[in-house]
Amino acid sequence: AQSVSQHNHHVILSEAASLELGCNYSYGGTVNLFWYVQYPGQHLQLLLKYFSGDPLVKGIKGFEAEFIKSKFSFNLRKPSVQWSDTAEYFCAVRGGGSYIPTFGRGTSLIVHP
Amino acid sequence: DGGITQSPKYLFRKEGQNVTLSCEQNLNHDAMYWYRQDPGQGLRLIYYSQIVNDFQKGDIAEGYSVSREKKESFPLTVTSAQKNPTAFYLCASKRGMNTEAFFGQGTRLTVV
């Protein structure tokens, strides 16, 4: 069965700190990879996605993620976080011939001003 | 504007009552999904539908039912058989396999 692991459940940072959130998935083959963000009281929004090509993907609001196939990973990064980045972040993976994206448990990020 | 509309945003029901959550999309997407979001557990798939008049159980389908009579609509019924129905419910849709899912605003259901 497909599974997606997000290792950091709660992250607390100060503004201007660097961020890296881990995401690993369990299956091989062709995959589509996603990071979604859910700001307080809002719906899930797509931050970035990887389908093919350059494994370093740039998303909105200064976020980026790197697909490392050998490590089955798709970690999310931001060099300098802002208070407005406080949100819940979800990694999702679609693969193995399935149409359905499987989500990780999410990481709650709190950024102190 | 195209998008996914879930209604209502907040819903209260008494224990033992069935309740139906609405999900409508005007994105012309074939696939629609229902997820349940609980703190610390991420999004878990309840039901999904790849095409009109067809749907499949997800990982946690017990106590739920759905229908897909129209491409635009995928209502979810939370039945009295669902043991722990209080949760945040998210509806999503997708155009095809190699695309991202779009989400509605969610419905927070509280059963008292």
- pLDDT tens digits for A7-27? 889 999 999 999 999 999 987
Please report, rounded to a whole number, the percentage of residues in chain A having pLDDT higher than 70.
99
Nearest CA-CA distance, residue A15 and chain B, Å: 24
Chain B residues in contact with A9 (beta carbon < 8 A) = 40
Would you state the pLDDT for residue A18? Answer: 98
pLDDT digits (tens, 9 = 90+) for A15-68: 999 999 999 998 778 899 999 999 988 889 999 999 999 999 999 999 999 999
Cβ distance B33 to A100 less than 8 Å, yes or no, reads yes
Residue A101 and residue A92 in contact, taking contact as beta carbons nearer than 8 Å:
yes
| DSSP string across B35-86 | EEEETTTEEEEEEEEEETTEEEE-TT-TTEEE--SBTTB--EEE-TT-S---
Would you state the pLDDT for residue A27? Answer: 76
pLDDT at position A5 over 70:
yes
Q: Report, as an integer, the average pLDDT of B2-19.
A: 91
3-state secondary structure of B21: strand
Would you state the pLDDT for residue B96? Answer: 80
Cβ distance B40 to A49 less than 8 Å, yes or no, reads no
Would you state the pLDDT for residue A30? Answer: 87
Instruction: Report residue A99's pLDDT band, with 50, 70 and 90 as the boundaries.
Output: confident
Would you state the pLDDT for residue A1? Answer: 66
Please report, rounded to a whole number, the percentage of residues in chain B having pLDDT higher than 70.
98
Higher-pLDDT residue of B88 and A43 is: B88
CA A78 to centroid of chain Cα atoms: 11
pLDDT at position A2 over 70:
yes
Phi-psi category of residue B69: left, alpha or beta, with phi > 0 → left and psi -120 to 50 → alpha: alpha
Would you state the pLDDT for residue B1? Answer: 59
Spatial separation of the C-alpha atoms in residues B71 and B51, rounded to whole Å: 7
Would you state the pLDDT for residue B72? Answer: 97
Residue listed under structure tokens 């798709």: A74
- HEC sequence for chain A: CCCEECCCCEEEEECCCCEEECCEECCCCCEEEEEEEECCCCCCEEEEEECCCCCEEECHHHCEEEEEHHHCEEEEEECCCCHHHCEEEEEEEEECCCCCCEECCCEEEEEEC
Would you state the pLDDT for residue A10? Answer: 94
Residue of chain A whose Cα is closest to the Cα of B43: A103
Nearest residue, CB atoms, A105 vs list B35, B41, B96: B41
A3 touches chain B (CB under 8 A): no
Residue of chain B whose Cα is closest to the Cα of A48: B100
Would you state the pLDDT for residue A97? Answer: 75
Spatial separation of the C-alpha atoms in residues A107 and B70, rounded to whole Å: 35
* Residue closest to A50 by CA, chosen among A70, A75, A28, A27: A75
**What tokens does B66 get?**
């759905």
Range with lowest mean pLDDT among A45-49, A108-112, B96-100: B96-100
